Structures are given as structure tokens and as C-alpha cells.
Amino acid sequence: QVQLVESGGGLVQAGDSLRLSCAASGRTFSSYVMGWFRQAPGKEREFVAAISRRSGVTYYADSVKGRFTISRDNAKNTVYLQMNSLKPEDTAVYYCAAKSGVNYSDRNPRLYDYWGQGTQVTVSS
């Protein structure tokens, strides 16, 4: 019912910045908590950041806090992830996800209902 499409990934050097975008279909975008997850080869998908439905309250993994910023524009049905001071360990496929309900502090990807196809972020040293 909800389709998500990520964009903005690429190859950058350590210390550089990237901004990921996630465009959502449908007219109920503001009804969903939005999150970003990432997954490196051979590792489990891990939580990166989330944002509440309308108030814009944010929640971050410790590994990215202070470097990444999640935001959303409900009028444009889009969520963003601004990534600054990128490190090689940030290299992964980044996924946009949507979750029904109110709780924006869920770190478990199994609690999210819809997923994008992912976009590759590679940070060289």
C-alpha cells in the first residue's frame, strides 16, 4: 500500500557529506513513523534514525548521533537523512522504512511495515 523509493547514495571520501531522500506514495504519509536502517554485507540490518509522524521528534543510534540528521516534509511525502562527517564504517545499503503507530523509538526493523529498495553508500578512506 505504501511504496518507498530511496535516492542520493554514492561513493564519497571519509569526512564528506551525503543527503539521502526517500519519496513515499499515498496520501497517508503523515500517519507513519519514518525510519532509516542500514545493512553491511554479512551483518544484520541495524537502526540508524527515526522521526515521529507530525511533531518531528527524532531518535538516533549512538553510532550516528551528532553526525546524521533525519527530517521529513509531510507536504512533499519525503523523508531525508543528512549524513555529515562520514566514516568508512558507515558503508552499507541504506533503507527507508515506514511504521504504523506512534512510537518513534523502536529500533527493531521487524516492527516496520514498509521498506524501500535501498541505496548504496560507500565511504572510502
* Section 18-40 average pLDDT: 94
* 3 state SS of 67: coil
User: What is the overall mean pLDDT for the chain?
Assistant: 96
Q: How many helices (H) and strands (E) does the chain have?
A: 0, 11
Region 39-46 average pLDDT: 96
Residue with cell string 558507515: 90
The pLDDT of residue 8: 98
- pLDDT at residue 27 greater than cutoff 90: no
pLDDT score of 19: 98
